[in-house]
Amino acid sequence: MEPLAAAGLGIAALAASIIGGAAGIGAAIALIPAVALTVGVREAVPVVTVAITMHLFSRIWVNRASIDYRVAGWFALGGVPGAVAGAFVFANAPIEALARGLGVFLLAVVVYRRLPLGQVRIGLRGFAAVGAAQGFLSAMFGGAGPFGAVFLLNYGLVRNAFVGTMAVATLGISAAKIPVYSGYSLLEGRTLTIALILGAIMMVGGLIGGAIARRVSDRFFVVAIEVLIAFGGVALLIRA
């Protein structure tokens, strides 16, 4: 990888992890476009999965006192099998379809965040179904935090409780995808090295994001996430 591209990817990982550490969502899908355009579409999702798995530990540590483990447990109950199923589909999908699908998905995420879903509220056990859907989408497209976020927020989780619970809930999803990707030789040698380096950077970014979560407005992070996601989606559709 060219030095300039490597530096740009490192900066993108740090920025995405700071945003994710502060806002609780957006780190994966904000980073996916940069990795896809630098490393390749097929490799992007596995690379980001490893990096995000490492990043989640820093989020959990910073917000450990506020985590709702009941919500996280039900979420993971559906999320882990959903993630495994999605990973198998991803590993066997045509590369052209992945590029277009990823581009459309990123743009759809921005639209989804603007839909009037503010009244949607579910019970504790309903998080198993939400987790299953998010696990599948995450395995296919690298991240799907905005999908599950609305349900956690409407359940009453805010700020540190939201960020920490989301991190625990998605840790199992991220970890479940890695063996499937590895089994299809999508994580070895160069890609694994890149993933581990990005993960180390994102662990630092997660700590920084947690430290500034109370000092910067939520709207700033929402706008930053949406701009990054939309830009990446358009770029992928152009290149597909």
pLDDT of 218 higher than 70: no
Each residue's pLDDT tens digit, 91-129: 887 766 766 776 787 677 777 767 665 556 788 899 999
Read off the pLDDT band of 82 (50, 70, 90). Answer: very high
pLDDT above 70 as % of the chain:
81
Among 131, 40, 126, 138, CA closest to 87 = 138
Mean pLDDT score, 6-19 = 86
Q: What's the CA gap between 9 and 219, in Å, rounded?
A: 25
Helix crossing, 41-62 with 27-38: angle to 10°?
A: 150
pLDDT of 74 higher than 90: yes
Each residue's pLDDT tens digit, 60-72: 988 888 899 999 9
All structural domains of the chain with their residue ranges: 3-239
